[in-house]
Structure 1
Amino acid sequence: MKKIVILILTGFYGCSPAIRSYYDFDKEDNVRKYITYAWGTEDLKEVKSNPLYYSELNDKRIRAAANDLLRVKGYILTDQDPDLTLHYHIVIEERSMLSPDPYGYMYGDYFMRPRSNIFTYREGTLIFDLMNTKHKSLVWRGWAVAAMEVVLYDTKDTDVLIRSAVSKIFQNLPERGVDKDSTVTLN
């Protein structure tokens, strides 16, 4: 059943724009040993800095997608004494892309002035941090980056983008359980 759910969730990839995902983790702390997690409190400074993206609707979408994927990975959402605290951040940056003059081929553009086209777009980054609740240390971080222009104005596209980004981020999170390299001794 788990594999079917993962297959369905990863099916969102085909419906989404190009999303690049990355991750980093503490090599001295095995994330597989943790069982429960809870959501951390919001940083009001972040929320106020960009209200277009930090909305209650996007918060619900992001949390629902993350909860679904973490449940599939074996992690349990709890309110009491969690092992991990989950935070997310949204970073939106203006980017520019230079497109050189398409004319001229081999001998240059004799009758036309050379020109360069500069395109500006927004690039969004969604970051998830899993923190050790007891020690307040970062255990695992995953993030996804995508161009935002196309999906901002249609809620259906926003849902697909968020689900796809969260799915791509958490595909790199190991499933909860015993590490493959560890040994178990029975008495």
Structure 2
Amino acid sequence: MKHKKLRPFGTLPLLIFSMLLLPLSSCTRFPLADTEYIFDPSINYRQFRTYAWIEPEVPSPIEGEVGPFYNTLWDRRIREAVSSALVKEGLNPTGGEEIPDVLLAYDVRVDDGQRAVEDNTFPPSYGYWYGYRYRYDYTNLASARNIRDYQVGSIIVDVIDPVTKELIWRGWSEATVDPADMNEGYLNMVVADIMARFPPTPDITR
């Protein structure tokens, strides 16, 4: 009985195979993120239909200190990724002077050399990427942590009550990479994984 010889792959199939592996390899060069969330179970999150981004304040650095680290590209990408996930859940951005149902904020934990000096006039909430400071309170959620207590490279998204200025939902992914080195595909994947937990489902064990 004659056996057929296996023919080696031609150039074209190998090229196609390599192209298929490229997106995968660009993502797997980063460690997988550990994604979690916390929320206020007394709130009906399904009632929300509109959102707006809370406006951060950027303090002036003290003379001789490191100034705010800001990257408009990453700011836009993170906002777009969060907004895309919310639109799929039926939430849309407010227009004009309309008061939103919820406010949004995000932050990324960077090492201390990349942040502005701490401003103690702000409540204990956010402000370690870009030197942002947000005037809202997270202490109503018992298990919420200060941003400095997250691993460097963590991405955190907050949903805030626009009236009380209190945190009602927080999702985060603790990755061990420099956010400035993450590619767009990996960033979208991480943010989508965070926002997949919103709105929360209180009757399901996380």
Match of 1:69 among 56, 62, 85: 85
Per-residue displacement from partner, 1:24-77 (whole Å, max 9, x unpaired)? 0001112221111001102314997651xx311110010111111111111111
Higher strand share: 1
After superposition, the Cα gap between the structure-2 partners of 1:123 and 1:36, relative to the gap in structure 1 and judged at 3 Å, is: same
After superposition, the Cα gap between the structure-2 partners of 1:91 and 1:19, relative to the gap in structure 1 and judged at 3 Å, is: same
Task: Give the Cα–Cα distance (whole angstroms) in 2 for the partners of residues 33 and 141 of structure 1.
Answer: 18
Q: Who is 1:26 aligned against?
A: 40
Q: Who is 2:173 aligned against?
A: 144
Task: Give the Cα–Cα distance (whole angstroms) in 1 for the partners of residues 99 and 159 of structure 2.
Answer: 15
TM-score w.r.t. structure 1 length? 0.61
Q: Which runs of 5+ in 2 are unaligned?
A: 1-22, 113-150
Match of 2:101 among 83, 86, 101: 83
CA contact (8 A) 2:41 2:202 kept: no
C-alpha displacement at 1:173, in angstroms? 0.7
Q: Who is 2:27 aligned against?
A: 15
Task: Give the Cα–Cα distance (whole angstroms) in 1 for the partners of residues 48 and 169 of structure 2.
Answer: 11
Per-residue displacement from partner, 1:66-115 (whole Å, max 9, x unpaired)? 11111111111113210100011111248xxxxxxxxxxxxxxxxxxxxx
Q: Who is 2:52 aligned against?
A: 38
After superposition, the Cα gap between the structure-2 partners of 1:46 and 1:159, relative to the gap in structure 1 and judged at 3 Å, is: farther
TM-score w.r.t. structure 2 length? 0.56
Match of 1:173 among 173, 176, 198: 198
Matches within 5 A, 1:75-154: 75-79=91-95, 80-93=98-111, 123-149=152-178, 152-153=180-181
C-alpha displacement at 1:158, in angstroms? 2.1
Q: Who is 2:187 aligned against?
A: 162
Paired-residue identity, %: 28
CA contact (8 A) 1:128 1:143 kept: yes
Q: Which runs of 5+ in 1 are unaligned?
A: 1-10, 95-121, 182-187
Per-residue displacement from partner, 1:115-144 (whole Å, max 9, x unpaired)? xxxxxxx83111111111122221111111
Q: Who is 1:100 aligned against?
A: none
CA contact (8 A) 1:130 1:139 kept: yes
What is the total number of aligned residue pairs between the two structures? Answer: 134
CA contact (8 A) 1:125 1:143 kept: yes
What RMSD in Å do the two structures reach over aligned CA positions?
Answer: 3.1
